[in-house]
Amino acid sequence: MTSCKLAGPGVLTGTVHPPGDKSISHRALMISALAEGESSYSRFLEAADCLHTMTALQALGVDIKNTPGTGLVTVRGVGMNGLKAPEKELYLGNSGTSMRLLLGVLAGQRFECQLTGDESLSTRPMRRVTQPLKQMGAQIKGSDQANYAPLTIRGGKLKGISFDNHLASAQVKSAILFAGMYADGKTRVVEPVTSRDHTERFLEAAGVDILREAGWVEIGRVDRLTALGGAIPGDISSAAFFIAGAAVIVGSELTVKDVCLNPTRTGLLNVLRRMGAHITTEITQEAPEPMGNIYVVGRRLKGTRIAKEEVPSLIDELPILMTAMAAAEGESLITGADELRVKETDRIHSMSQNLNAIGGCVEELPDGCLIRGVSEFRPGKVDSFGDHRTAMSMAIASRLIKGELEITGTACIGTSYPRFFKDFEDLQK
């Protein structure tokens, strides 16, 4: 239970190169593992969650080379049917993305495999993925009707389905699309709001014909994936802490370099601009993933509302947005975000508790929160609740405090952003 003490106030000024995108790093490994040939990537995210995906694929017989500290990774794909039964269970730590997406891959394999995780991951709901995969023909066992890990899956002959992804979850969609590559007939995922589309972009780049229309995506059986490679864009969900912090702290001037600007991931920027933030972007790469730079100048922001239809494009950024809203002028309201309650922790609760502990005014709602902005925070002590995004959000809050903030349980930051505190220190003026 590592803790840290941070002293404020201060601005966030300078340039940050965020780590490789976590969502894309997971998918790069999985899709390359099923491809034919060798795929090489730079800026791979060497954080705990992505490393769990790597070791799981290695246990399934995939040759993956990674030189620690370089961000370079090479995957020698085994083809669509080349995975082998692991000698023991696949331990995935605290990575929900690893577990949910690998379930989709394993649904098409002809062997049995058990997936396990740490205490936190074992409490996170998995039926949202296991239910449609069982409809397709996979056999999955686990507690509470395969809702919680450990989960045992035996793949087999699959059939395509049409699934209503009412949660607008990219993890659910991706698992079904992965299974759909092995299914007879067409597999369609219908969404009320389009979730992040990294899986679709990667599969298309690997030669897969995918039909995409407003409200749905469809895939058929796939016989072959071609090898890929390139630089993985910076993670906007990691950069979000500095972006939102710089936007709300008067006097800050921030440049974020080579970050993912996929439209399904930039909801954070839309909300901050609506709050009055001075943010500009520059696209430097269009495909396969839009990438570029973000420029932020700090100013006092005003409250806003976030409704359900916006949540899929900024679900991971809501904790730091809550921090910005707590320091903005007026009221802010977040609704339709009940998915926050089943992340690494209940993020509605953890952020409300922590912000109120330092003088914020946050009222919990079943699916969100009501926030009344305050002019400044006060010194105090808060807890990460074992959640990396809660911990990093509170670290940014320390820049708005005249005094010291202690955060307990900060080791969890290593799951997504191991060098967060180094970058944080470099931006302090």
Residue 343 CA: distances (Å) to CA of 52, 133, 276, 338: 18, 21, 29, 10
Cα–Cα dist 26/170, whole Å: 13
The amino acid occupying position 328 is: A
CB 320 within 8 A of CB 306: no
Q: How many CA atoms lie within 13 A of 337 on its CB side?
A: 28
The radius of gyration computed from the CA coordinates of the chain, to the nearest angstrom, equals 21
Phi-psi region of 278 (alpha: psi -120 to 50; beta: other; left: phi over 0): beta
List phi, psi (to 5°) of 120. Answer: -65, -50
Catalytic residues: 316
Place of tokens 């989709």: 104
Pairing of strands 229-231, 183-184: unpaired
Cα–Cα dist 55/43, whole Å: 18
Residue 161 CA, chain-centre distance (Å), reads 26
| SS3 sequence of 6-39 | EEECCCEEEEECCCECHHHHHHHHHHHHCCEEEE
